[in-house]
């Protein structure tokens, strides 16, 4: 579904992403882990076109998309959420979704009532139906994160990229987001999820890619990751031990 081949991104002399290859299929969750500054968000920026790759290729359904603009990649089926909550603050929750639905893949000539149906479906899906009329700006972090997820889904993607969807949430909220992401995967989307919260990620991901200094340190199952010597070295002392 989505494939990266030897992706590199330099910012001046800094190799933010240094030759990363990956693949994720429909119905699969790929987790991306790594210390702050490892290049995780930059990798997403290259995939979505928020920044240009210095070299390497990104393919969606076997077709290279590195020369496409952000909105073209969206209409081809790529959607993402951001590390910082990113919503249209002065619009209502429903208006945010309605706007996203109007850009959805396959909309060709669809009607406005259809956009509203899609908007309401995803509002319901993430549990924000009772907040539809509220302005998005003052929402809590949990609500903003769910709104970002809903707007991404309303574009009808085949590949969903999530940048730290659990960051700043409490355990109960994390549980709710984990089950939403599982449902999305079960509907056949390919999901790539960047996350610092190791326990949430190991519970969620089918495969994990660990990044360090822009490069791939490890790729395998979450269970293999937890016992990998290189991964333990990189994280030793920098990650709080999860409840054992």
Ligand X SMILES: Nc1ncnc2c1ncn2[C@@H]1O[C@H](COP(=O)(O)OP(=O)(O)O)[C@@H](O)[C@H]1O
Task: Give the interface with ligand X as residue ranges (CB under 6 A).
Answer: 11, 14, 16, 34, 36-42
- Beta-carbon contacts of 6 under 8 Å, excluding residues fewer than 6 positions away, are 19, 20, 21, 55, 56, 57
Are 216 and 38 contacting, i.e. CB atoms less than 8 angstroms apart? no
Nearer to ligand X, 7 or 78 (CB): 7
To the nearest whole angstrom, how small is the minimum distance from the Cβ of residue 139 to Mg ion?
Answer: 22
Q: Distance between CA 43 and CA 18 in Å, rounded?
A: 10
Pairing of strands 78-80, 55-60: unpaired
Residue 11: name its binding partner from Mg ion, ligand X, none (Cβ under 5 to 8 Å by kind).
ligand X
Identity of the residue, 62 or 240, whose beta carbon is nearer to ligand X in the bound complex: 240
Q: Which does 75 bind (CB under 5 to 8 A by kind): ligand X, Mg ion, none?
A: none
Contact 31, 195 (CB under 8 A): yes
81 binds Mg ion (CB under 5 A): no
Partner interacting with residue 39 (select from ligand X, Mg ion, none; CB below 5-8 Å by kind): ligand X
Q: Check residue 41 for interaction with Mg ion (CB under 5 A).
A: yes
Residue with Cβ nearer ligand X (42 or 156) = 42
Residue where the block lists tokens 């326990």: 199
- In DSSP terms, 192 is beta-bridged to 30, 161
| Minimum CB–partner distance for residue 212 and Mg ion (Å) | 14
Least distance CB 152 / Mg ion (angstroms): 17
- Taking only Cα atoms into account, the Rg of the chain, rounded to an integer number of angstroms, comes to 18
Tell whether residue 48 is a contact of Mg ion (CB under 5 A): no
Q: How far is the CB of 102 from ligand X (least distance, A)?
A: 29
CA dist 155 → 148, 150, 172 (Å)? 11, 9, 27
Contact present, 20 and 7 (Cβ < 8 Å): yes
Give least dist CB 50 to Mg ion, A.
Answer: 12
Minimum Å gap between C-beta 40 and Mg ion is: 5
Q: Which is nearer to ligand X, 42 or 48 (CB)?
A: 42
Given Mg ion, ligand X, none, residue 80, with its beta carbon under 5 to 8 Å by kind, binds: none
Classify burial at 199, counting beta carbons within 10 Å of its beta carbon; exposed 0-12, middle 13-18, buried 19 or more. Answer: middle
Tell me, rounded to whole angstroms, the distance of Cα 219 from its chain centroid: 18
34 binds, among Mg ion, ligand X, none (CB under 5 to 8 A by kind): ligand X
Q: Which residues in this chain contact Mg ion in the complex, by CB under 5 A?
A: 40-41, 83
């Amino acid at each position: 579904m989505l494939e990266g081949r030897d992706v590199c991104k330099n910012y001046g002399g800094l190799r933010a992403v240094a030759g990363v290859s990956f693949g994720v299929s429909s119905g699969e969750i790929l987790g991306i882990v790594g210390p702050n500054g490892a290049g995780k968000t930059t990798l997403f920026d290259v995939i979505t076109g928020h920044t240009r790759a210095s070299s390497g290729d990104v393919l969606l359904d076997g077709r290279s998309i590195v020369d496409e603009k952000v909105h073209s990649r969206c209409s081809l089926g790529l959607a993402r959420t951001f590390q910082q909550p990113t919503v249209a603050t002065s619009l209502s929750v429903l208006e945010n979704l309605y706007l996203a639905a109007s850009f959805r893949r396959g909309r060709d000539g669809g009607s406005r009532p259809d956009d509203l149906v899609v908007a309401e479906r995803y509002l319901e899906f993430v549990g924000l139906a009772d907040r539809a009329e509220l302005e998005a700006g003052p929402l809590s972090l949990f609500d903003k994160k769910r709104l970002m997820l809903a707007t991404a889904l309303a574009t009808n993607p085949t590949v969903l990229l999530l940048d730290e969807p659990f960051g700043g949430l409490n355990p109960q909220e994390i549980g709710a987001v984990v089950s939403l992401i599982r449902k999305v995967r079960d509907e056949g989307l390919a999901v790539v999820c960047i996350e610092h919260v190791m326990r949430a990620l190991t519970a969620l991901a089918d495969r994990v890619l660990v990044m360090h200094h822009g490069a791939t340190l490890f790729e395998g199952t979450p269970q293999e990751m937890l016992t990998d010597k290189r991964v333990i070295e990189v994280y030793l002392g920098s990650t709080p031990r999860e409840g054992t």
